[in-house]
Amino acid sequence: MNRWTPPGHWPPRWPDVTDPAVLRAVAEVPRHLFVPEKYRAEAYEDRPLPIGQGQTISQPYIVALMTQALRLTATSRVLEIGTGSGYQSAILAQITPHVWSVETLAELAATARERLHGLGYPVKVKAGDGRLGWPEHAPYDAVIVTAAAPDVPPALVAQLADDGRLVIPVGEGLWDQRLWLIEKSVGRLRARVLAEVRFVPLVASSSRPEPEDEALAEIRRELNELLNRG
């Protein structure tokens, strides 16, 4: 018998996570295969775990909450920023086969790609600056960011389809982060806070910000107004 088999009560009963597709995905993805060997005995505890290079695999509850907020269907096109171990990618791929993921750290990207493909998850993974998204495959019905950004990158909003949803933790300090849901409808944005959270920082591939055209600058202004109001 595989000693890493999830317990019979997995996933835990989370009162605010009720989407059957999300719960089924968490139940079916083998989390122990996404953590280092020395942490496998803890893989089915509802908490984050280190995966190396200063990064973590997120708490399953937060993974489920964020995924549920995207309202995915089997045809949704999803962009993930921050591949990490590939665990969140696999949860997404259990619901839809149309998943693209960007990881700043090239070694993590390569390892996650190999792991995901070895397990049969058709996730497209590349190393790059997640703040810029993956415009070649836009628009996306959903964008999910798995590390805390100091602000919402306008490029990610620009790559959202109409009626698209973006879930992102925002905050500069570990103790001052909020998980935001941003919705685009008829070109306008709505935003609300889902939870107080703690994530590792979103790593940028360059300390120099990319120049923004007027469209991105306008999105940034709208985002700043929304988040400051919230």
Residue 178 pairs with which residues in a beta bridge?
170, 196
- Is the bond preceding residue 135 a cis peptide, omega within 30 degrees? no
Place of tokens 């835990």: 12
Q: Which residues are catalytic?
A: 58
- Is the bond preceding residue 139 a cis peptide, omega within 30 degrees? yes
> What is the distance between the alpha carbons of residues 193 and 214, in angstroms, rounded to a whole number?
27
Residue in 228, 185, 193 with CA at minimum distance from that of residue 65: 193
Q: For residue 156, what are its two tokens?
A: 């990610």
Q: Which long-range contacts (CB under 8 A, 24 or more apart) does 40-49 make?
A: 40/4, 41/4, 43/4, 44/6, 44/7, 44/10, 46/12
Place of tokens 């469209």: 215
